[in-house]
Structure 1
Amino acid sequence: MPASVTELAELLELEDLDVDLYRGPQARTERQRVFGGQVAAQAVAAATRSVEQEMRLHSMHSYFLRAGDTAVPIIFDVERIRDGRSFATRRVMARQHGRPIYFMTANFHTPEEGLEHQDRMPDVPPPEMGVPMTDLARQAGPEAAAEWEREWAALDVRYLGTSTMGLAEDPDHPARAQLWLRTDGALGDDPLAHLCAFTYATDLTLLGAALTPHGIHINSSRMQAASLDHTIWFHRPFRADEWWLYDQVSPIATGGRGLATARVFTQDGTLVATVAQEGLIRVRH
């Protein structure tokens, strides 16, 4: 995976093959399958290239269909479903070895004035008081720390706590996790780079929130875990290289699946995105 912000930006640069047809590069990794956030971020880049520059992505809804092969590039095929004066819709199919591995529908909106309200940001400590993910990884042993630094060094993650460690008890929400996140370095001023980097990062920790009440880590050998679908609503533009709060809640786990949602706030309390994901959390017996 990207070892720096520069490598992350390069990973999200697609090669034009034809009109609405792109090829996405692969990162160096020891993972057995392509990281879902990478496929989603590259699909966002592909879809955004097909709309007018003034339009903004306001939602994406996607399914992970098959495990991606880290040894070969990914082909992204964009279908222009609709172009209206206010909204545009795109469908993106990601393929490897001639088979679909990921499917996304994306909707774009021309910015306009409208009614305004939002949730209040939770009262949380600042990022500087969060625990760096590298420190948490070291607690699991030198191999875990080395893996984090090798695979996820492009991201700066500061954990604030979970429902079983560090957060105040909330009987109404037994599965919660909060953390601050940003890219570990500046991304420049291209809005698409921030959009894609944010999409990439949203898949990193969300499913783990569904496991917090159960005392099992998502990387445990007892756990078979995989993202099944991923949805993001983009409310306002923001920078992925500045701190954003990932306020995660899992309302339910049942039938071998867990659902998690998250509100995303910037440090000034602005609600900028909402994320939802359902994933496989099958315990091996």
Structure 2
Amino acid sequence: MAKRVTIFDPPEQDHSKALIENVLDLTPVVDLGRDVFTNTRPLWHPPGARGIYGGAAIAQSLSAAMRTVPADFAVHSMHCYFVLAGDSEIPILYHVERVRDGRSFVTRTVQARQQGRPIFTTTLSFSRVGSGGAKTIDHAVSKPVVALPEDAKPGTMKALSHAGGGPFEARKAGIVNRISPNPEEKKVRRFVRARGHISDEGGYQAHLSALAYITDSYFIGTISRVHDIPRFSSPAELEKLLRALKNPSDLDDEDLTRALKELKEEEAAELRRRLEGALSKATDQKYHKEVGMMVSLDHSIYFHNPRAFRADEWMLTEMESPWAGEGRGLAIQKIWSKDGVLIATCTQEGVVRLKQDKPPLSKI
């Protein structure tokens, strides 16, 4: 008997909606209760990951909870724990519990289960819009002055390379204090947005779900970035890439080939110089570090202005890490809308372990 990845046969893609809306669509499972939902379509399992992309569980749990809350309440925080790796070949059931319905605040918990086992759990709090009163205390961190990415013109190689892909896209926006010897002083910036146009039918809730989905992208990876642990950490991988740089047409990766062809000569020389520097460190065991395990443990999102942004417009994210140790690391992320409004602050802790030169000592 063939294995089913969804409980119900998935419908055709709804082209009136953005790809991310299709990815995150939920179907009620009324036979199991009024507040039980399941993923409508198969979920993505990133290459090399232990399970499904964590952002899907975060976003679909949020979407399920929002379906049980009055329209005049908006989410202001959610606190999540990744319990087990999600299997992309097994349907997920999202069970929403209506913990409390107050006049100003509403609380929900959502547990995502596969084959009866919890794989993800979150608690969400919603506040009534305008319940703070006419007089309020207001302040927010200003958006850094960073130029928005330029959208590629139709027909160009850059436009072609961004034409397909996943439900959202990202562009690098630099690293603050890149050369600092202190990892805690560095800040990694990226622009992100959902691909296509999020439908009016989805309302502001669709933008919140899309934002929640995107927040898990490269988040715990901030730890390795601020420690300058390169993606190609073995000399063999770096040498292979260096050889490819000398003859870009020989590259297997089509997107990388197109990108390299667009580079000016000085940009290619700078890339080669940085790779050669990384290669010299990789061959020196004194500097050699390689990530052995990187897994998210928890994830929190504080939604500051849930109706003041569009997730299909460029949002600026800034990630940093105030601490790492004991085989774990903590990352913090701030997100601004295209118009400069601080829309969310996120935290994530994860297991971050390096490959060890020697096996651990036996306990006596």
Class of the TM-score when normalised by the shorter of the 2 chains: 0.7 to 0.9
Maintained 8 Å contact 1:163/1:170? no
Distance 2:149 2:181 in 1: 22
Question: Per-residue CA shift, 1:41-69, capped at 9, x if unaligned?
Answer: 00001111111011101100000000000
C-alpha spacing 1:42/1:253, structure 2 compared with 1 (3 Å):
same
Residue 60 of structure 2 corresponds to residue 60 of structure 1: no
CA contact (8 A) 2:44 2:52 kept: no
Asked whether 1:240 is paired with 2:311, we answer yes
Q: Could you tell me which of 26, 44, 51 is aligned with 2:42?
A: 26
Structure 2 contact 180–186 (Cα < 8 Å) conserved:
no
1:223/1:282 contact within 8 Å kept: yes
Alpha-carbon separation, structure 2, partners of 1:219 and 1:185: 32
Residue of structure 2 equivalent to 1:118: 140
Match of 1:223 in 2: 292
Alpha-carbon distance change, 170 to 55 in structure 1, aligned in 2, over 3 angstroms? farther
| TM-score scaled by length of structure 1 | 0.84
In structure 1, what residue type is equivalent to 2:209?
C
- Which structure shows the bigger proportion of residues in helix conformation? 2
Check conservation: 1:258, 1:281, Cα contact below 8 A: yes
For 1:273, the equivalent position in structure 2 comes to 344
1:201 aligned residue: 214
Q: Does 1:91 align with 2:103?
A: no
Deviations 1:192-251 (A, max 9, x none): 111111100000021121112322257977431111101001111221101111011111
- Are 2:43 and 2:56, in contact at CA under 8 Å, matched by a contact in 1? no
Equivalence map 1:126-141=2 (5 Å): 126-128=148-150
Question: Which whole-Å deviations, capped at 9, do the CAs of 1:111-135 have from their partners, x for residues lacking one?
Answer: 1143221112222232239xxxxx9
Amino acid of the structure 2 residue aligned with 1:26: P
TM-score (norm 2): 0.67
8 Å Cα contact 1:175/1:212 also seen in 2: no
1:252 deviates by: 0.8
2:68 aligned residue: 50
Counterparts of 1:201 and 1:149 in 2: how far apart (Å)?
18
How far apart in 2 are the matches of 1:30 and 1:260?
21
Q: Percent identity?
A: 36
**TM-fit CA distance, 1:30:** 6.0
Instruction: Identify unmatched segments of 5+ residues in structure 2.
Output: 1-12, 152-156, 234-289, 357-364
**Offset at 1:154?**
1.8
Question: Match of 1:259, as an amino acid?
Answer: L
**Contact 2:23-2:167 within 8 A present in 1 as well:** no
Amino acid at match of 2:303: F
3-state SS in 2 of match to 1:207: coil
State whether residues 223 and 330 of structure 2, in contact with CA within 8 Å, keep that contact through their aligned partners in structure 1.
yes
1:99-110 alignment, distance < 5 Å: 99-110=117-128
2:55 is paired with a residue whose SS is helix
User: 1:35 maps to what in 2?
Assistant: 53
Q: What amino acid is aligned across from residue 199 of structure 2 in structure 1?
A: G
Query: Partners of 2:118 and 2:44 in 1: how far apart?
Result: 22
The 1:28/1:253 distance shift into structure 2, 3 A limit, reads closer
> 1:170 offset after TM fit, Å?
9.1
Q: Could you tell me whether the CA contact under 8 Å between 1:94 and 1:101 is conserved in 2?
A: yes
Alignment match of 1:179 (pick from 165, 183, 190): 190
Name the aligned partner's letter for residue 22 of structure 2: E
Deviations 1:117-156 (A, max 9, x none): 1112222232239xxxxx9xxxxxxxxx9xx998x52212
1:163–1:212 CA contact under 8 A, matched in 2: no
* One-letter code aligned to 1:157: A
Distance (whole Å) between structure 2 residues aligned to residue 171 and residue 216 of structure 1: 14
Q: Quote the offset at 1:264 in angstroms.
A: 0.9
Greater C-alpha radius of gyration: 2
Q: Quick one: distance in 2 between partners of 1:93 and 1:174?
A: 36
Q: Distance in 2 between matches of 1:28 and 1:279?
A: 20
> Aligned-pair RMSD on alpha carbons?
2.9
Tell me the number of residue pairs that the alignment of Structure 1 and Structure 2 aligns: 266
List gaps (5 residues or longer) in structure 1. Answer: 130-134, 136-144
Query: Aligned partners of 1:61 and 1:284: how far apart in 2?
Result: 30
Question: Does the Cα contact within 8 Å between 1:176 and 1:249 map onto a contact in 2?
Answer: yes
SS of 1:197's equivalent in the other structure is helix
Larger displacement relative to structure 2 (35-44 or 209-218): 209-218
